[in-house]
Structure 1
Amino acid sequence: MIYVGNPGFFFTADDVECSYNGKFNILLQSDNVVLHNDTIESLVFVVPYDFKQFFRKLVKKYKRNLNFDKIFQFRSSEEQKTFKEYANTFK
């Protein structure tokens, strides 16, 4: 995959592919492909998204029974800690 924009590290939130690079981003898969180093790669767009708005939609969907550790799936505990610190700035 080729990312248009700097994705930082990756995680999922309620089946949505996301990334964090100092800002919250949603990863949008594209139907476009490119030829890169003799390999066909799909394009993924890194789209900055308002975290508060995203979180409000999750709260509404789960009717306030939102468990951060169950909704957000990270690849490492260090990435989880980094993103939790970011998310806590919105309290």
Structure 2
Amino acid sequence: MNAPPRFCAIDFGTSNSAVAVPVDDGGAMRLVTLEGEHRTMPTAVFYFAEGRHDADGPPRAFGRAAVAAYVDGHDGRLMRSMKSILGSPLIEQTT
């Protein structure tokens, strides 16, 4: 017997992002919790100015932790509305 295909739906929103998974074979989907009990998370990344870089780059926080780092006054850069710059000349690196 073939296993049913596994997938999820990702809503990479300008302000918030969410992930949904199938409930059954009928096409119904349900949102999964991403941060604690929240079913959405802010579409935000905070890059800390200081800290040890790893293979993926500088230290960073995502979602609510990113917003909290900014509000708490950590040195660094908060990125929001990233969809507006994706694919623009401001992004020079590729994979």
Q: What's the TM-score once normalised by structure 2's chain length?
A: 0.27
TM-score, normalization by structure 1: 0.28
Higher helix share: 1
Q: Which has the higher strand share?
A: 1
Structure having greater relative contact order (Cα 8 Å, sep ≥ 6): 1
